[in-house]
């Protein structure tokens, strides 16, 4: 869609407002709305100004002026405004140099796809994420000098089988018992369906939706694979739509990886394949029906996984999920069919077009622009350097003894450990200027100053159980 077509689209939908959206460093959408008569075709060149110092992880106040340049190809009707409003995603540029802003996550994804094309290896990277999330009825939390608490509740929560509900009908998924139940145990079928219908309105192709393993409304909606940049945009819409449909019904959604103690967390298994000239490159006649290129791609991803996880599992809470026993893989190995391996090769089809790798460590708290790009860069580094993925681990990792697992690399046990890995291993990310040292340093600094250090200063509620009466 060109600027002229954008205004035709606006007129077609009788919209008088346009809403511009862009992602901050951590992956949350920001927005600002304008009367449509304040825009003309020049707006798609000149952009609109905003304060970059007020965006997380971006500019200092002394260089705060920034420009958002709307991308007309992303225009669609926003489903959640009362009056017809056209939404458009923006790219961010420096108003003085007119150069793309290196900390704009969408710019990173654009550069990653350009680097792929220039590499000569492939011209298309398809991404297919499977984000999981919880639907709660209520959440309360507080942290101050004399109190620290959180409390969540759900009509589906296994802890509510004895709650007075006038009447309590008892249809509540148990802990780790929520995978694929029909109604009345699955109470959120219609709500998830409404989320899917709203996604379809903005052009997202959905393959399936279902209840997930956890109690208390854990759910999954799967989008059909799409080119990397398109999928990163769709992932922003995905979160936006799910949260707003839930709110429409008096519910709240979280993409927090581990909100419930001793039950499954929410992951985002992410599928990746490379194509060239419309033909798939990962199908072949070696292990699991893969090509040698695909094995090298897996080798690169496993080799750089600890650094990639600084973007793919980017919160302190992510490492409450990455522990043994809850389906989240902690050992960096590949395997066909085996869901306890960090990289799984799905075996549903022998068609070369279906051959792909599935990275099972990421979670949906990530910034998709950065995470998908980091994953692609690790894969390309593996192909370029012919990195051996090692022997497959075709057995249940969780049943292996510590001695049997000794020698296998493992995921970081904490966010600080992942950030240290990123500090030590990021040259593969900066190839072609896809990631910059400034972005990586800014990411690490933001995480250390705003997440890790504040958490270290605060007493944990469980510490009162452990130490209060010592």
CB 291 within 8 A of CB 284: yes
Of 107, 110, 269, 321, the active-site residue reads 269
- Tell me the C-alpha distance between 177 and 193, whole Å: 21
Catalytic residue among 51, 207, 279, 449: 51
Asked if 201 and 13 count as a contact pair (C-beta separation under 8 A), the reply is: no
Structure tokens at 13: 């939908």
How far apart CA 201 and CA 79 sit, in angstroms, is 8
Distance CA 80, CA 201 (A): 12
With contact defined as beta carbons under 8 Å apart, do 443 and 430 qualify?
Answer: no
| 31, 339, 384, 410: the active-site residue | 339
Location of structure tokens 């072609």: 432
| Catalytic site residue from 24, 71, 132, 451 | 132
Q: Among residues 422, 398, 124, which one has the least CA distance to residue 273?
A: 124
Burial classification of residue 27, based on how many CB atoms lie within 10 Å of its CB (0-12 exposed, 13-18 middle, 19 or more buried): buried
**Is 358 part of the annotated catalytic residue set?**
yes
CA 182-328-324 angle, 5° bins:
115
From the candidates 212, 233, 263, 381, which is the catalytic residue?
Answer: 212
Task: State how far the Cα of 71 lies from the Cα of 131, in Å rounded to an integer.
Answer: 26
Backbone phi, psi, residue 49, to 5°: -85, 155
Pairwise CA distance, residues 414 & 8, whole Å? 50
Identify the active-site residue in 220, 222, 233, 451: 220
What letter would DSSP give residue 451? Answer: I
Place of tokens 């130490």: 467
211, 271, 360, 426: which one is catalytic?
Answer: 360
The pair of structure tokens assigned to 401 is: 């003894």
In angstroms, the CA 135 to CA 251 distance is 7
| 81 contacts: CB under 8 Å, gap ≥ 6 | 17, 19
Single out the catalytic residue among 24, 78, 186, 358: 358
Based on the residue annotation, tell me whether 130 is a catalytic residue of this protein: yes
List 71, 130, 198, 451, catalytic entry: 130
Determine whether 339 is an active site residue.
yes
Q: How many CB atoms lie within 10 A of CB 187?
A: 19
Residue 41 annotated to the active site: no
- Tell me the catalytic residues: 51, 130, 132, 212, 220, 269, 339, 358, 360
């Amino acid at each position: 869609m060109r600027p002229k077509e954008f205004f035709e689209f606006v007129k077609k939908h009788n919209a008088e407002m346009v809403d511009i959206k862009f992602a901050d460093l951590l992956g949350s959408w920001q927005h600002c709305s304008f009367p449509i008569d304040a825009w003309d075709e020049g707006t798609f060149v000149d952009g609109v100004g905003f304060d970059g110092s007020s965006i997380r992880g971006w500019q200092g106040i002394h260089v705060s002026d920034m420009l958002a340049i709307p991308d007309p190809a992303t225009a669609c009707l926003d489903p959640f405004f009362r009056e017809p409003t056209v939404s458009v995603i923006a790219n961010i540029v420096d108003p003085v140099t007119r150069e793309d802003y290196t900390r704009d996550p969408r710019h990173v994804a654009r550069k990653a796809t350009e680097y792929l094309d220039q590499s000569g290896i492939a011209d298309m990277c398809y991404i297919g994420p499977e984000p999981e999330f919880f639907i709660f009825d209520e959440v309360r939390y507080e942290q101050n000098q004399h109190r620290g608490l959180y409390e969540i509740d759900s009509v589906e929560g296994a802890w509510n089988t004895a709650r007075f509900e006038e009447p309590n009908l008892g249809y509540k998924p148990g802990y780790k018992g929520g995978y694929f139940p029909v109604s009345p145990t699955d109470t959120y079928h219609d709500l998830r369906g409404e989320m899917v219908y709203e996604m379809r309105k903005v052009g997202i192709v959905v393959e399936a939706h279902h209840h997930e393993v956890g109690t208390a409304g854990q759910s999954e909606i799967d989008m059909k694979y799409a080119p990397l940049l398109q999928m990163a945009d769709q992932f922003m819409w995905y979160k936006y739509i799910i949260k707003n449909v839930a709110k429409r019904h008096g519910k709240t959604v979280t993409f927090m990886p581990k909100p419930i103690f001793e039950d499954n967390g929410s992951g985002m298994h992410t599928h990746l394949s490379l194509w060239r000239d419309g033909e798939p490159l990962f199908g072949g006649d070696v292990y699991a029906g893969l090509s040698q290129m695909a094995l090298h791609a897996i080798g690169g991803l496993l080799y750089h996984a600890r650094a990639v996880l600084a973007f793919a599992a980017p919160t302190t809470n992510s490492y409450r999920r990455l522990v043994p026993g809850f389906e989240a893989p902690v050992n960096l190995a590949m395997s066909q069919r085996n869901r306890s391996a960090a990289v799984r090769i799905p075996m549903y089809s022998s068609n070369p077009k279906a051959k792909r790798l599935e990275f099972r460590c990421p979670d949906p708290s990530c910034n998709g622009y950065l995470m998908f790009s980091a994953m692609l860069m690790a894969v390309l580094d593996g192909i370029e350097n012919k990195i051996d993925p090692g022997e497959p681990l075709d057995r249940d990792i969780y049943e292996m003894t510590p001695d049997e697992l000794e020698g296998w690399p493992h995921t970081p046990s904490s966010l600080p450990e992942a950030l240290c890995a990123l500090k030590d291993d990021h040259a593969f990310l900066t190839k072609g200027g896809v990631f910059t040292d400034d972005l990586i340093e800014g990411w690490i600094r933001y995480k250390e100053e705003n997440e890790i250090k504040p958490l270290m200063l605060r007493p944990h509620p469980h510490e009162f159980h452990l130490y209060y009466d010592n």
